[in-house]
Structure 1
């Protein structure tokens, strides 16, 4: 009996705080498991909401089940985003290896620049077959644009445009020949767009000649890049027709009056009052 009692005394007893600590850790583990389970449910709700958003904006007319085990590759296809501007043409900048098309934009303004050599022949003002084919690729989108478009023509020094036919002093003529060349080119594009379904109240045209170069005109390559036609969209502007109507004075019914001493007397005939 003495030996058994001695063995019990040799065993290390567990400190009381250890029991409390283990109890607290167990409760904390249970608490975090509960949080994780709630977060998983919340994430599922986010995924369902995301599916509804994707189905609404451009992918499908209806939302789809993210947890479906069926193959959804055939039913979930990206659709075009109806932005009403030139943003879809931005991809042409990366697809065009010849750098004939450039796209620049900020928050309000979008500019699609087309190299003149892609649209016209040397010193030409008539659209080439290649130029018409290029514009035909833009027309489906341009017909859906909700903002007015500005067609801005630009040229460079005429010694590059006219080649051997260039004569010193032509640049000093009034009006400047580069201005007329850019005007005729812009007019050709303007007419082509009108003939192919672009409303006249959604188009404007300007010609700048050689006076607004985008690149320094010190090298032939830069002068070539300055010969361009810009299609400019400004989201701050509404329809040109709407702006013209807004500027017209309000129509007032005409009345025959007689002013005597600061007093107006209606002298309309009975027929006019009907």
Structure 2
């Protein structure tokens, strides 16, 4: 039995073995490719090359096979947005602002308020009613005391009929507030909002016309050199502005700067 199995195992081993060396057709094919390469190199060496055509042909091959040395760069063209229409005030509007300024001065004098409120015409469309801090707030406090109610009501009565918008600005000096945990900027903002809230609760002015902002010590009237100059910088400004409308059309959108109450 062992002798019969030995020949069968040898036959199986002969079937698994592969002949050594490459197939004959592969050798012939390699020789042919080598000869063709030699032939084209010979033609290339004998031909007169046109540099321009050679570059064009080389670039065409690179484009065809995606062999760019550098990735292609995309060019973006940013659209040029038109600038917003500029505000221009007619001489009639400028004259109106001047007349309102004169009218405010006369009303303050008639109400004996000219010592408490300063009227400043800033430019052709802006008038400022300037009130010192001591008349509206206690030191370091942001709540409007009852003693300031009559003054604020009189200011509202003066502003109400005017065709202008109101921005309440709070300002402080450069001394840190020790009686209040909030900083000067927060204090100025809180005071402006308190004035705005007083107008709202008393239904004294149209709230669509009012906004509030606080500047802290960033916009002093005079340098903070001594107590007198610092007292002058602690103030509330009632900034009145004519509606800013372009010449031909109204602005499409406006930013809402109202402070929620």
Change in Cα spacing, 1:88 to 1:129, as seen in structure 2 (3 Å) is farther
Alpha-carbon spacing, 1:217–1:206, altered in 2? closer, same or farther (3 Å): same
1:149 and 2:166 matched: yes
Instruction: Calculate the TM-score normalised by the size of structure 1.
Output: 0.48
One of 131, 139, 150 as aligned partner of 2:156 = 139
* Alpha-carbon contact 1:84-1:144 (below 8 Å) kept: no
Segments of structure 2 that go 5 or more residues without pairing to the other structure are: 1-95, 255-261
- Measure, in 2, the Cα distance between the counterparts of 1:226 and 1:133: 23
Aligned to 1:247: 253
Aligned match of 1:261: none
**C-alpha contact 1:155 1:210 (8 A) present in aligned 2:** yes
Q: Does the alignment pair 1:90 with 2:105?
A: yes
Partner of 1:228: 235
Following TM superposition, where does structure 1 have runs of at least 4 consecutive aligned residues deviating by more than 4 angstroms? 83-87, 93-97
Provide Cα deviations, 1:224-261, integer angstroms capped at 9, x if missing partner.
110111011122536xxx978x328xxxxxxxxxxxxx
Distance 2:250 2:210 in 1: 13
Q: CA RMSD in A?
A: 3.1
Distance apart, 1:132 and its partner CA: 1.1
Instruction: Give the number of aligned pairs.
Output: 151
Q: Structure 1 unaligned segments of length 5 or more: list them.
A: 1-80, 171-175, 249-274
Task: Indicate the SS of the match to 1:201.
Answer: helix
Of the candidates 185, 189, 197, which is equivalent to residue 195 of structure 2?
Answer: 189
1:153, 1:84 → 2: CA distance? 26
3-state secondary structure, aligned to 1:102: strand
Structure 2 SS opposite 1:145 = coil
Q: Which residue of 2 aligns with 1:72?
A: none
Whether the 8 Å CA contact 2:157–2:204 is kept in 1: the answer is no
Is 1:116–1:229's contact at 8 Å kept on the other side of the alignment? yes
Q: Indicate how the Cα distance of structure 1 residues 210 and 127 shifts in structure 2: closer, same or farther if over 3 A, else same.
A: same
Between the aligned partners of 1:126 and 1:220, the Cα distance in structure 2 is 23
SS in 2 for 1:117: helix
Question: Residues 89, 122 of structure 1: CA spacing in aligned structure 2 closer, same or farther, 3 A cutoff?
Answer: same
TM-score for the superposition, normalised by structure 2: 0.51
Given candidates 112, 117, 142, the residue that maps to 1:101 is: 117
Residue 130 of structure 1 and its aligned partner are, at CA, apart by 2.2
Structure of higher CA gyration radius: 2
